[in-house]
Amino acid sequence: MEEVVDTAGLSMLLDALAGSIVVDFGNNPELCLIGVKRRGDVLAKRLQTRLADQLGHQIPCGSLDITIYRDDFDSLGEQPVIGQTEIPFPLHGQTVVLVDDVLFTGRTVRAALDEILELGRPARIVLAVLIDRGWKELPICADLVGRHLTTERLDDVRVFLAETDGRDAVVLDHGRHNADD
């Protein structure tokens, strides 16, 4: 396993993503963040803090559990764990920044888009990812990327966050397949 982003590097990537959001959407009063659980929601909260510091006001932030929207839902076992989607604001007319940790095949993003559109009709959805590792299976492209990472198809890219894993890092594990994207 190779650590490709350390704690300081992850903080810099989030600073850059927040800066891009401010430049592109900072004047939009309908801006909100929605993170894909399990790590995109943590990243969205961190971005929310950075944006509040830069903009001087809080941006609404929510989280999505996309389990039932996955195209492989039937293969998750007899008792898949379904978490809670928490979006405490209306989506109609909003500019949603959808936040995820790693963009791989695009299937997680597709599931998140399906759920968001079932919950409301945003004016726009912008995809922000910490890591884009390539190998898309669907025509989905991130609008904002912390870092593009060159990988092999069977590599595994893991994002570790202090809130869930006790440390901040991005690790590249060569030759393993990650079922999540």
Domain assignment of residue 77, yes or no: no
Span 64-107, pLDDT tens digits? 999 888 665 454 456 566 789 999 999 999 999 999 999 999 99
Total count of domains within the chain: 1
Convert the pLDDT of each residue in 116-157 to its tens digit: 999 999 999 999 999 999 999 999 999 999 999 999 999 999
Percentage of the chain modeled with pLDDT above 90:
86
Tell whether 178 is covered by a domain. Answer: no
Q: Is residue 18 part of a domain?
A: yes
Range of the domain at 133: 2-69+83-173
Is residue 64 one of the residues assigned to a domain?
Answer: yes
Residue 23 sits in a domain of what CATH number?
3.40.50.2020
Q: What is the pLDDT of residues 159-172, one digit of tens each?
A: 999 999 999 999 99
Q: Write out pLDDT tens, residues 21-41.
A: 999 999 999 999 999 998 999
Residue 2 reports pLDDT greater than 60: yes
At 129 the pLDDT is 98
Q: Is residue 74 part of a domain?
A: no
Q: How confident is the model at residue 180 (pLDDT cuts 50, 70, 90)?
A: low
- Using CA atoms of 143, 147, 167, 104 in order, give the dihedral in degrees to the nearest 10: 70
d(CA 116, CA 176): 31
Look at residue 38 in the predicted model and tell me its pLDDT. 87
Residue 163 located in a structural domain: yes
Write down the pLDDT at residue 80. Answer: 62
Average pLDDT over residues 3-9: 98
Residue 45, in any domain of the structure: yes
- Whether 76 is in a domain gets the answer no
User: What beta strand segments (E) does the chain contain?
Assistant: 2-5, 31-36, 61-64, 95-103, 124-132, 144-148, 156-160, 169-173
